[in-house]
Amino acid sequence: MENILILGAGGHAKVIVDIVEQEGKYNLVGIIDQNLAEKEPLLSYPLLGKEEDLPKLIKEHAIKGIIIAIGDNFIRSKAANRLNESYSGLSFPTTIHPKTAIAKDVKISEGTVIMAGVSVNPGSTLGNFCILNTNSILDHDSSLGDFSSLAPGVTVGGDCNIGNYSAIGIGATLLHGIKIGEHSVIGAASLVSKEIPPNTIAYGLPAKEIRTRKKGEKYL
């Protein structure tokens, strides 16, 4: 069983700790976070240091991989890029809660986290470092781009395409065949019935384009 660390010590990290424990594939040694002074041990796992402490931690604990527990898609991508550039030997495990329904032909890329109650149907593709939150649904032949995310209770119809870095808010629904451009955010409980262009904030029943969104703009 490989030794791993989790990067991040917030609420999202708590959910990932639970998945790691339930899955039973990795030995979680501890947590690293940039704001150690503000944090306490996470669900009994020690806070071992910051990113700059990784060389020492990798050597002392024979660390083989890191799960990035950062909910914001753009910030998660920056962390992944830093780690990839600095630590080429580290892996980024995919973590899947055992109580999910994932079709056997679904393609899942590195660093993706899939939480309890998620359904992913045949022909679908999950990019790098995606988040599929609790009870979200991705129907047949749909795709999530790299660093994209589905919040709890999201329903995505068949043949949908969600672009890189885009976030679908809690309880939103995408009808069949919808495309969401890169770096876009769909508000909670929205009903998306038409294509949403890149760099857009949209919400409502039905969802309407509200304004342009800057890359990396905070949304959580």
What mean pLDDT is predicted for residues 114-123? 98
What mean pLDDT is predicted for residues 64-91? 96
pLDDT in tens, 152-161: 999 999 999 9
Mean pLDDT value across the chain: 96
Cα distances from 95 to residues 83, 98, 135, in angstroms, run: 18, 9, 15
pLDDT of residue 76: 98
pLDDT at position 39 over 90: no
Helix (H, G, I), strand (E, B) or coil at 67: strand
Q: Where are the alpha helices (DSSP H) in 25-184?
A: 54-61, 73-86
d(CA 194, CA 192): 6
Q: What are phi and psi of 167, to 5 degrees?
A: -130, 130
Give this prediction's pTM: 0.96
Domains of the chain: 2-86 (3.40.50.20), 95-206 (2.160.10.10)
Task: Give burial (CB, 10 Å; 0-12/13-18/19+) of 98.
Answer: exposed
What mean pLDDT is predicted for residues 106-124? 98
Q: What are phi and psi of 12, to 5 degrees?
A: -60, -40
**Token match 């109580």: residue?**
99
What mean pLDDT is predicted for residues 155-176? 98
pLDDT of residue 37: 60
pLDDT in tens, 61-72: 999 999 999 999
